Structure 1
Amino acid sequence: MGEDIAVTNFREYLRIKTVHPDPDYETAIEWLKKQAVDLNLEFNIVRFEPPNEFAVWLTWRGTNQSLKSILLNSHIDVVPVDPSQWNYDPFGAEKTPNGNIYARGSQDMKCVGVQYLEAIRKLKATGFVPLRNVHVSFVPDEEVGGFKGMNCFVKTPEFEALRVGFALDEGIANPDDSYHLFYGERAIWQFRVTAKGQTGHASILHENTAAEKIHKVINRLLSLRESEKARLKSLENPDLGDVTSVNMTMLGGGLQANVVPPELSAVFDIRITPHWTLDSMKKLLDETCANAGSDVTYKYIQHSNITAQTPVDDSNVWWTVFKGVTDEL
């Protein structure tokens, strides 16, 4: 029995090594061109001046060009992988007898990009033509902040010309027939805390060291992490979006084993729930650094200042239409 074309395309896409730090974007672009031809969709690409990247979008023309369009977005890139921790080749897209497919990016988020395309294939097979334009966009570098792809794209006349009225982005694969809709996004704050202090030989108990200061910062933020973990467990219907996640992701500094370092740093990734104000988070961060001692500062690596949520009530015409369709299904 032959494999469904949706599965074949998915596995082809997974085998393209769009993995950081050296993603193979050109092969992915060629694959997307092929999908556009197969589906009779318009292929578009805009490339930005280095060191920035590009954006690709496939367009399905609707019957009423005066209406705002729908944008279905996904990202091409995937996070690094340690093959020694896998039972399968991370880019082999091997399929087991029960249908499981193993590959880096299978859920985050190449499955969604393929789902968009295969949904269009099925609709086209029925003769359906959309009322408004549907654009399927594929962008690079989401896993490292989106600064070289989508951040550039939304500032271009090409993006403005799409006249986007409604967009769907990253979600999760769901094994049953329910529809999970995410209507808010936690604000991403990634930052490096740097502590400077007295240096000297490690045989002496120096005062005011960088290690003592960074230790206080780490303790305070990991204490917040523990309290949010406890709060998540206490919720009647736990949802990760209801809490703020805190993770320390990098440590840096030091000269050699017997020297007290003049500077140490720690990088944190914090995703702030929409139920908190960003001002309260900034106040906590400022106070944490101030209480750790002098010469303790932080610098943002990525900083979102938006906590907006899409209204999911009758005030939002897009929501009522979307919900109406899923209710009907």
Structure 2
Amino acid sequence: MSVEKWENNEEIKIFREYLRIPSVHPDINYTGCVDFIKRQADSLDLPVEVVYPAVESKPVVIIKWLGKHPELPSIILNSHMDVVPVFPEKWTHEPFSADLDEEGRIFARGTQDMKSVGTQYLGAIRLLKASGFQPKRTVYVTFVPDEEIGGSLGMAEFVKTDFYKQMNVGFSLDEGGTSATDVHHLFYAERIRWVLKLKIGGTAGHGSLLLANTAGVKLNYVLNKLSEFRESQVQWLINDKSINIGDVTTVNLTQLSGGVQSNVVPPLLEAIFDMRLSITLDLVAFEKQIRDWCEQAGGGIEIEFPQKDAYVAPTKLDDSNPYWLALKAAIDELKLKIKPIVCFGVTDSRFIRQQGTPAIGFSPIINTPVLIHDHDEFLRADDYLNGIQVYKKIIQNLTEV
């Protein structure tokens, strides 16, 4: 397909229009996204509602496609409107220009994560409606805010609302991961995110002395213990080829602060660690181990968890889950290769699963460099259009469960 044909393709036009809305952190104004989605709903002749589960600046936009049997549990097709920050000087194209090059690559923040998914859902519904198809189950296409910063004022609050309860959700489809190979990654669970903050008190004094129980010495002890644990996970990943990063626990020191002058031993140091815990890890035992290390270091360490997600049961991928069977049938019919994995990060699916509802993350993007949150993020126009066809079959199967 030539550049002109891509440029003139209606679905590509819609996608590029969405990409040009700079819904980028921090301090996002979602008005442009809301107006865009409302126009898409009008073009599909489907009703749309906007709700504000937490604050007025954080809208959730819901397009409803009524099913023939609306009493049945519904299907959610979810995506998030927000994208992560960019460093424009690192891009060869303007990050929100949606430039289309001669190879058919569309460059913009959100091409892979995850504006493409939101408009591909709509493209698939457009095809299904044009064919005369009406779903058995009601379909809700949801566009949520703030997923990239944890979703605490987005999906996390939306699932608590009466509006959500009235949707009677039976299954949710959400984002998967871009694949550099021909294998689609399918998320059936997510690691558990903890943020560990240590406030380490110690003996203060002159920098020329060898004082006992300084904050630096205590920090060094705890950091070494956490690093040893981290290395055990690295080795596990290296030695067991059947697992991937989502199956192990990651620990990373991400923030360090304290001290006032180079020759003054400080009375307090603070360290923050990002932890993504394996769903097989004993959470109680792991927290006790952290507390034991802090005591062994000499005590005087205040332990906080600014974020401490609870364990959420994985979505079952077996005969007990009819939605999985329908999704798998579509995948098999399309002759797609898939690999079910635990998501290495977190997505809004965890909030759906917390309600006891099965949720699966899926992406039709394959054979593409993984540029999620990276510079020069792009998606090929042909791959985008193919994704619409993939979702068409998947949505049809899910609604007919």
Tell me the TM-score normalized by structure 1: 0.92
Aligned residue number for residue 218 of structure 1: 223
SS at match of 1:183: strand
Aligned residue number for residue 165 of structure 2: 160
- Select 2:92's aligned residue among 80, 87, 95: 87
Aligned residue number for residue 256 of structure 1: 261
Cα displacement string for residues 17-61 of structure 1 (whole angstroms, at most 9, x for unaligned residues): 222212231211111111111222221111245487232211111
Segment of structure 1 superposing worse, 131-140 or 292-301 = 292-301
Q: CA deviation at 1:104?
A: 2.2
SS at match of 2:135: coil
Does structure 2 conserve the Cα–Cα contact (< 8 Å) formed by 1:313 and 1:319? yes
Figure out how many residues of one structure are paired with residues of the other and give that number. 329
Segment of structure 1 superposing worse, 26-35 or 257-266 = 257-266
Cα displacement string for residues 160-217 of structure 1 (whole angstroms, at most 9, x for unaligned residues): 0110000112212357775432111111112222211122333333322222222222
Letter in 2 for 1:305: A
CA distance in 1, matches of 2:53, 2:90: 36
Runs of 4+ in structure 1 off by over 4 angstroms are: 174-179
Cα displacement string for residues 250-271 of structure 1 (whole angstroms, at most 9, x for unaligned residues): 2222223333222211222111
SS at match of 2:200: strand
CA distance in 1, matches of 2:296, 2:92: 47
Aligned residue number for residue 50 of structure 2: 45
CA distance in 1, matches of 2:33, 2:261: 44
Aligned residue number for residue 128 of structure 1: 133
Letter in 2 for 1:53: K
Q: What do you get for the CA RMSD once the two structures are aligned?
A: 2.1
CA distance in 2, matches of 1:216, 1:51: 46
SS at match of 1:138: strand
Aligned residue number for residue 97 of structure 1: 102
CA distance in 1, matches of 2:182, 2:125: 19
Distance 1:277 1:227, change over 3 A: same
Letter in 2 for 1:118: G
Aligned residue number for residue 276 of structure 1: 281
CA distance in 2, matches of 1:266, 1:254: 12
SS at match of 2:21: coil
Does structure 1 conserve the Cα–Cα contact (< 8 Å) formed by 2:30 and 2:59? no
CA distance in 1, matches of 2:313, 2:106: 35
Distance 1:108 1:214, change over 3 A: farther
Aligned residue number for residue 191 of structure 1: 196
Does structure 2 conserve the Cα–Cα contact (< 8 Å) formed by 1:194 and 1:214? no
Aligned residue number for residue 116 of structure 1: 121
Q: CA deviation at 1:70?
A: 0.3
Aligned residue number for residue 17 of structure 1: 22
- Select 2:325's aligned residue among 311, 320, 325: 320
Tell me the TM-score normalized by structure 2: 0.76
Cα displacement string for residues 231-284 of structure 1 (whole angstroms, at most 9, x for unaligned residues): 212222342222112222222222233332222112221111222232232233
Segment of structure 1 superposing worse, 66-75 or 95-104 = 95-104
Does structure 2 conserve the Cα–Cα contact (< 8 Å) formed by 1:111 and 1:173? no
Aligned residue number for residue 239 of structure 1: 244
Q: Relative contact order, CA 8 A, sep 6+: which one is greater?
A: 2
Query: Does 1:203 pair with 2:208?
Result: yes
Does structure 1 conserve the Cα–Cα contact (< 8 Å) formed by 2:29 and 2:57? no
Segment of structure 1 superposing worse, 264-273 or 176-185 = 176-185
Does structure 2 conserve the Cα–Cα contact (< 8 Å) formed by 1:185 and 1:308? no
Gaps of 5+ in 1: none
Does structure 1 conserve the Cα–Cα contact (< 8 Å) formed by 2:54 and 2:154? no
Aligned-residue sequence identity (percent) comes to 45
* Structure 1 segment 292-303 matched on structure 2, within 5 A: 292-303=297-308
Segment of structure 1 superposing worse, 128-137 or 238-247 = 238-247
Does structure 2 conserve the Cα–Cα contact (< 8 Å) formed by 1:195 and 1:213? yes
Letter in 1 for 2:162: P
SS at match of 1:276: coil
Aligned residue number for residue 140 of structure 1: 145
Aligned residue number for residue 368 of structure 2: none
SS at match of 2:38: helix
Does structure 2 conserve the Cα–Cα contact (< 8 Å) formed by 1:16 and 1:24? no
Does structure 1 conserve the Cα–Cα contact (< 8 Å) formed by 2:177 and 2:186? no
Gaps of 5+ in 2: 335-401
Segment of structure 1 superposing worse, 301-310 or 46-55 = 46-55
Letter in 2 for 1:236: K
SS at match of 1:169: strand
SS at match of 1:287: helix
Does structure 1 conserve the Cα–Cα contact (< 8 Å) formed by 2:30 and 2:57? no
Aligned residue number for residue 313 of structure 2: 308
CA distance in 2, matches of 1:308, 1:298: 27
